[in-house]
């Protein structure tokens, strides 16, 4: 057991050892750097791996090979893509607002990197411990909307501006249910600290049922969280801001070269960050699903769950068609938001109903009733008018 604990804490021990070797006046700076550098190394590398996995996976779903020319089985395709974007000419429109045009992709990446600072990647492996870290995560995440608007407006392109306005409307609409889906977890955990939320789901003698996912309000909250996370990350079927058939490429249509690569990187980094938050809130964080698996390092559990969620998003992208803009907004305001509020009521019932078995029934009834009522209201025939198409004469 001691050997397993040492393996689990190998990165924490190595950091402490490296900090102790430095002079006292430099130890705080070295400690910060040793927290930042792994994030800057691991997640961009994960971005490169995810791009090849996604292209390969989508190829298999669509009955084709995907990248298979660069390196063995196409494994070096991310390297080729990175070099191409690095050396490709960066074109800037003559009428563009030069400073904002340059800053937009940089500002898009920064909030995603800041969000990684409060996610616990393993036991004692959180870069920045804060009592209100969850609020910090959502606050810095809102900075991406500013970057998107900057890119669309500074490009001085009508398609770019239209894509930016689409993206902002989508992000604002789905950010509310995203935050509300986390409220039941905060209510029942009694803390805004991700570490405290994971600790509330961790029990060495318990099974996977101890995770929030396997409770009525937790299951509903996780589904709402995944849908809102897809919309916040511009993932299919909510990738309307870059709808090629309508607005060519969205808010980054005028970007090329390395600036375009930064937009691409920022979207994936945001996806990884929001997946990490979902793991923390609903999937037990870095904890094992069963007590007899506690010997596996906690950080390995976290990245295993992260990989599973990434595969889920790839699968969704390859199987679901893009929705229309009116469907997107109706779903956010007429279903997601009310359902998130109903889920808070279900969490309150879970907390205040005394008998364990009875609270399961009451909480589940609230969730199911809300789902059925809202679903009927959203799909009612009165909401849809038959369209007639006429040829221009």
Structural domain boundaries, residue 277: 2-13+88-379
How large is the angle between the packed helices 257-282 and 27-61, nearest 10 degrees? 100
Nearest by Cα to 120 from 301, 266, 295, 379 = 301
pTM to 2 decimal places: 0.91
Cα separation of the two ends of the chain = 80
Give the Cα separation of 164 and 158 in Å (integer): 10
The answer to whether the beta carbons of residues 118 and 137 sit under 8 Å apart is: yes
Query: What is the pLDDT, as a whole number, of residue 245?
Result: 62
Give the Cα separation of 58 and 231 in Å (integer): 19
Task: For residue 49, give Cα distances in angstroms to 23, 42, 68, 74, 156.
Answer: 37, 10, 14, 11, 34
388 in helix, strand or coil?
Answer: coil
Residue 391 lies in a domain: no
The answer to whether the beta carbons of residues 105 and 138 sit under 8 Å apart is: no
Residue 255 lies in a domain: yes
The distance of Cα 105 from the centroid of its chain, to the nearest Å, equals 18
147 in helix, strand or coil?
Answer: helix
Q: Give 1: exposed, middle or buried? Use CB within 10 Å, 0-12, 13-18, 19+.
A: exposed
The answer to whether the beta carbons of residues 157 and 43 sit under 8 Å apart is: no
Residue 42 lies in a domain: no
Residue 82 lies in a domain: no
Give the Cα separation of 49 and 89 in Å (integer): 25
Give the Cα separation of 239 and 250 in Å (integer): 10
Give the Cα separation of 283 and 213 in Å (integer): 6
Task: For residue 86, give Cα distances in angstroms to 113, 114, 258, 270, 278.
Answer: 21, 24, 5, 21, 33
Tokens of 205: 């003698």
Q: Report which DSSP code applies to 153.
A: H
Residue 27 lies in a domain: no
The kind and range of the H/E element at 340 are helix 337-352
Residue 26 lies in a domain: no
Residue 270 lies in a domain: yes
Task: For residue 83, give Cα distances in angstroms to 48, 122, 269.
Answer: 12, 33, 19
Residue 18 lies in a domain: no
Tokens of 372: 């059925």
**How many domains does one find in the chain?**
1
Over the chain (393 residues), the average pLDDT of each successive run of 10 is: 78 89 88 91 92 90 87 87 84 84 89 92 90 92 87 85 85 92 93 92 66 93 95 84 66 82 88 95 90 88 95 90 84 93 94 86 93 80 59 60
Tokens of 323: 């929705």
Number of separate helices (H) and strands (E) present in the chain: 16, 0
The answer to whether the beta carbons of residues 45 and 56 sit under 8 Å apart is: no
Provide the greatest CA pair distance for the chain.
81
Tokens of 193: 């600290």
Tokens of 246: 């309508």
Q: Report which DSSP code applies to 174.
A: H
The answer to whether the beta carbons of residues 157 and 251 sit under 8 Å apart is: no
Give the Cα separation of 178 and 221 in Å (integer): 9
Q: Tell me the residue ranges of DSSP E strands in the chain.
A: none
């Amino acid at each position: 057991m001691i050997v397993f604990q040492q393996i689990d804490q190998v990165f924490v021990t190595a950091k402490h050892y490296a900090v102790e070797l430095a002079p006292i006046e430099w130890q705080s700076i070295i400690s910060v750097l040793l927290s930042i550098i792994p994030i800057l190394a691991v997640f961009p590398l994960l971005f490169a791996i995810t791009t090849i996995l996604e292209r390969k996976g989508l190829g298999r779903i669509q009955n084709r090979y995907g990248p298979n020319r660069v390196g063995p089985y196409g494994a070096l395709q991310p390297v080729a893509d990175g070099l191409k974007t690095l050396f490709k000419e960066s074109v800037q429109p003559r009428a563009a607002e030069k400073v904002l045009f340059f800053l937009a992709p940089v500002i898009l990446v920064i909030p995603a990197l800041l969000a990684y600072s409060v996610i616990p990647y393993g036991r004692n492996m959180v870069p920045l411990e804060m009592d209100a870290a969850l609020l910090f995560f959502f606050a810095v995440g809102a900075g991406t909307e500013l970057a998107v608007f900057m890119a669309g407006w500074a490009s001085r392109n009508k398609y770019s501006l239209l894509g930016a306005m689409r993206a902002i409307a989508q992000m604002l609409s789905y950010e509310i249910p995203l935050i509300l889906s986390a409220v039941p977890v905060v209510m029942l955990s009694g803390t805004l600290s991700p570490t405290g939320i994971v600790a509330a789901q961790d029990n060495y003698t318990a099974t996977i049922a101890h995770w929030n996912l396997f409770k009525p309000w937790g299951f509903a909250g996780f589904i709402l969280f995944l849908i809102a996370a897809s919309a916040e990350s511009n993932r299919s079927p909510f990738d309307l801001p870059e709808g090629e058939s309508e607005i060519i490429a969205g808010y980054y249509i005028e970007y090329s070269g390395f600036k375009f690569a930064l937009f691409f990187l920022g979207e994936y980094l945001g996806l990884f960050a929001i997946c990490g938050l979902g793991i923390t809130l609903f999937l037990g964080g870095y904890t094992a699903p069963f007590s007899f698996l506690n010997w596996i390092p906690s950080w390995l559990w976290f990245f295993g769950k992260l990989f599973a969620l990434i595969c889920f998003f790839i699968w969704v992208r390859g199987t679901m068609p893009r929705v229309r803009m009116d469907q997107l907004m109706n779903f956010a305001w007429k279903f997601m938001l009310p359902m998130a509020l109903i889920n808070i009521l279900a969490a309150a019932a879970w907390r205040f109903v005394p008998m364990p078995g009875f609270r399961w029934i009451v909480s589940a009834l609230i969730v199911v009733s809300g789902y059925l009522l809202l679903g009927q209201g959203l799909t009612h025939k009165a909401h849809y008018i038959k369209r007639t198409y006429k040829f221009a004469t």
